[in-house]
Amino acid sequence: MQQSIEAEVIDRLKAGDVMGALASKARGLIQDMREKSSEEIREEQKARMKQQVDEFNDREGEENEVDGIDCRICRNKGLIEVLSEDGLSSSIRICECRKRRAEKLRADRLLRESGLVEMIESHTFRNFETKEDWQKKIVQHACDYVRDQGNKWFFFGGQPGAGKTHICTAICRMFLKKSIPVRYLLWKDESAKLKGLINDADRYEEEMKSIKEIPVLYIDDLFKVQRGMKPSQADVNLAFEIINARYNRSELKTIISCEWTMTELIGLDEALGSRIKERRREYVYGINRDMNKNYRIKGYEEEVI
Ligand SMILES: [Zn+2]
């Protein structure tokens, strides 16, 4: 009972007002009961709210089924329910895993769109064979290239079977890890497809636009032809259209693997070869055709490994 009512009861008793004292006492008791019941109601509300929050937070979600990330904080719902300070209300917050999930989905999408899904796990720098010095050097230079901020190009030409595709794919893998969009273009297949679109100008333009504008383009086996043959003029024209468009956009990176060395490529088409040569700066390598004889790096001008 409140202090003031107690005092009031005593005062009334002192004054001989027994009925008044009783009335005051009764008023105090009723007030006490009201306060007690509202406290109980509040406690019940708090307990109910806590139960609701616990039930929500204990429930398992399904977001891990989409992205493979298992989060024990939100149990894969992406959301957490949090009690207010007084325990009488709650609010929903986004779990920290949502950011990781978004990054993972973007990375998965970029990998899918790159066309490198099947090659990416087996073509890493780590599992590139480095028994020979030239192999160690090429991995070192490829890693330097990935770290280079200058938007240079990377050209790796020469002897088939020397790991050119492996190295170039490993470079693309690192760009994808940085969430930079990459497109893989296997020259033999894609050039045939593009040339087949010659009578469908809209589709040709659409396809070429994405090739010309992708931040990292990897052209694998450029001008792949039978030994002793030369690429057709249509192939050279198509390659020039792509190379020239990208040459004029300084922010784009182009990675090229090719059985032709840079010198041979310039001999084949000077305008095309010189544009690649200019953009690749120091990142151009050739494997000597007679691999058993010579793996030496002869210097950047000839760039034959
Ligand atoms: Zn979470």
Same domain, 181 and 49: no
**Which two three-digit tokens encode residue 47?**
């307990």
Same domain, 116 and 35: no
**Residue list, CB under 5 A from ion ligand 1:** 71, 73-74, 95, 97
Same domain, 257 and 200: yes
What's the CA angle centered on 160, arms 157 and 166, to 5 degrees?
A: 75
- Which of 95, 124, 157 terminates a domain? The answer is 95
How does 261-279 read in b/e, with b if 16+ C-beta sit within 10 Å? bbbebbeebeebbebbbeb
Ligand 1: distance of its center to the CA of 50 in Å? 20
pTM tops 0.75, yes or no: no
Same domain, 215 and 245: yes
Amino acid, res. 193: K
Ligand 1: distance of its center to the CA of 87 in Å? 23
Same domain, 277 and 193: yes
Ligand 1: distance of its center to the CA of 196 in Å? 48
Say if residue 104's pLDDT is above 90. no
What's the CA angle centered on 213, arms 211 and 216, to 5 degrees?
A: 80
The alpha carbon of residue 199 and the mean position of all alpha carbons in its chain are separated, in whole angstroms, by 37
Say if residue 280's pLDDT is above 80. no
Contact 294, 257 (CB under 8 A): no
Ligand 1: distance of its center to the CA of 106 in Å? 17
Same domain, 75 and 218: no
Ligand 1: distance of its center to the CA of 96 in Å? 6
Tens digit of each residue's pLDDT (9 = 90 or more) over 58-69? 999 999 998 889
Cα–Cα distance, 142 to 32 (Å, whole number)? 81
Overall domain count for the chain: 2
Same domain, 44 and 19: yes
Same domain, 155 and 71: no
Tens digit of each residue's pLDDT (9 = 90 or more) over 184-228? 999 999 999 998 888 888 999 999 999 999 999 999 999 888 777
Q: Domain containing 201: what range?
A: 105-293
Ligand 1: distance of its center to the CA of 217 in Å? 35
The alpha carbon of residue 195 and the mean position of all alpha carbons in its chain are separated, in whole angstroms, by 32
Same domain, 36 and 57: yes
Ligand 1: distance of its center to the CA of 51 in Å? 20
Same domain, 125 and 217: yes
Partners of residue 213 on adjacent β-strands:
none
Q: Does residue 77 belong to any structural domain of this protein?
A: yes
Same domain, 74 and 114: no
Q: Does residue 303 belong to any structural domain of this protein?
A: no
Same domain, 219 and 140: yes
In this prediction, residue 265 has a pLDDT band, given cuts at 50, 70 and 90, of confident
